Amino acid sequence: MLEIHPEILSKNGKREFVVLPYEEFEAIREELEELEDLRQLDEAIAAEKNTPSIPWEEAKKRLGIK
């Protein structure tokens, strides 16, 4: 689990900004990129759900791959 240590900055009594250590920011950014990749993968799988396919073994046989 990602542990972060935010510093909350207020302006006129209202929370306005969050400051994070750079390493934590990078970790969050990497996690978000991975989540985006997974979202795109899910969309691609859903889009191809009804596409005709053949089993892997059959494809290898047709291509002459052992």
pLDDT of 22 reads 98
Give the pLDDT confidence of 6-53 residue by residue, as tens digits. Answer: 999 999 999 999 999 999 999 999 999 999 999 999 999 999 999 999
Number of independent structural domains in the chain: 1
**Cβ atoms of residues 2 and 27 within 8 Å:** yes
Q: Is residue 33 domain-resident? A: yes
pLDDT of 66 reads 81
Q: Is residue 37 domain-resident? A: yes
Domain that holds residue 57: 7-63
Q: For the chain, give the secondary structure using H, E and C.
A: CCCCCCEEEEECCEEEEEECCHHHHHHHHHHHHHHHHHHHHHHHHHHCCCCCCCCHHHHHHHHCCC
Q: Is residue 36 domain-resident? A: yes
Q: Is residue 1 domain-resident? A: no
User: Does pTM top 0.85 for this prediction?
Assistant: no
Quick one: pLDDT band at residue 1, thresholds 50, 70, 90?
confident
